[in-house]
Amino acid sequence: MIPYPNIDPAFLRLGPLQLRWYGLMYLLGLTAAYFVIKRRTLAHHIALSTEQIYDMIVYAAVGVFVGGRLGYTLFYNLPYYLEHPSKFLAVWEGGMSFHGGLLGVIVALTLFSRRRGVPAYTIADLAAAATPIGLGLGRIGNFINGELYGRPTDVDWCMVFPGAGPECRHPSQLYEAGLEGGLLFVVLWLIGRRPTPPGTIFWSFIAGYGLCRMVVEFFR
């Protein structure tokens, strides 16, 4: 067994103000996305200006937040948020649905594509290439929050998570961070090193994420 580090979910406290690791992970993910997208536009001669990339990141951030939060609220904890509507905006406390966030990003970037006159698959490929970094960082945020832990197990690296009972469990958040974040990013980077038909990176991401998630579900 490895002791759970029990990290304070807030990395900075200023009176009533708390800055949480979970929110920081999203900020870092969006920042990393900018640099990944910028690099791909230069490498593949995609006509997107720096300002347009910033706009794309803003559209994606809104899509992730609204879609992810709505998905979590509607499907996981609706009664709580009906009683505490102000908590809907507290994304830094955790509680985001990947599937809701994915749908939100697709809607947001479709609007961006149409308004900027950029082919939809060009935008989808750029976004997909950058997404694994955000996924990996988000799972690290889940680990710090002590949520989305795995099934009870007796493997040498199991952990006892706060609020999850006395059982030692798989740190499945870290499995996901490694697979959906690290491995999937490398695979998409290798695929995207050479010119590919439009949509290749996007659909490779969808397939790769599904495969990674299927593997992790054996431990969650």
What is the DSSP track for 93-133?
G----HHHHHHHHHHHHHHHHHHHT--HHHHHHHHHHHHHH
Taking only Cα atoms into account, the Rg of the chain, rounded to an integer number of angstroms, comes to 18
Domain assignment of residue 134, yes or no: yes
Through-space distance between the first and last CA atoms of the chain, rounded to whole angstroms = 17
Position 94 pLDDT exceeds 60: no
pLDDT reported for residue 92: 58
Per-residue tokens: 20 = 């949480």
Number of separate domains in the chain: 1
pLDDT reported for residue 93: 58
Q: Rounded distance, CA 160 to CA 152, Å?
A: 9
SS3 166: coil
The pLDDT tens digits for 51-93 are 999 999 999 999 998 898 888 887 777 787 777 777 777 765 5
Domain assignment of residue 155, yes or no: yes
Yes or no: say if 59 and 115 are a contact pair by the CB < 8 Å rule: no
Tell me what percent of the residues of the chain surpass a pLDDT of 90: 65
Q: Rounded distance, CA 98 to CA 71, Å?
A: 8
The pLDDT tens digits for 97-136 are 778 888 999 999 999 999 999 999 999 999 999 999 999 9
Q: What is the mean pLDDT of residues 26-43?
A: 94
Q: Rounded distance, CA 45 to CA 41, Å?
A: 6
Q: Rounded distance, CA 121 to CA 74, Å?
A: 29
Yes or no: say if 124 and 197 are a contact pair by the CB < 8 Å rule: no
Domain assignment of residue 13, yes or no: no
Give the structural domain span for 182. Answer: 20-216
Q: Rounded distance, CA 155 to CA 182, Å?
A: 23
As a whole number, the mean pLDDT across the chain is 90
Position 189 pLDDT exceeds 90: yes
Domain assignment of residue 12, yes or no: no
Domain assignment of residue 14, yes or no: no
Domain assignment of residue 4, yes or no: no
Q: Rounded distance, CA 132 to CA 138, Å?
A: 10
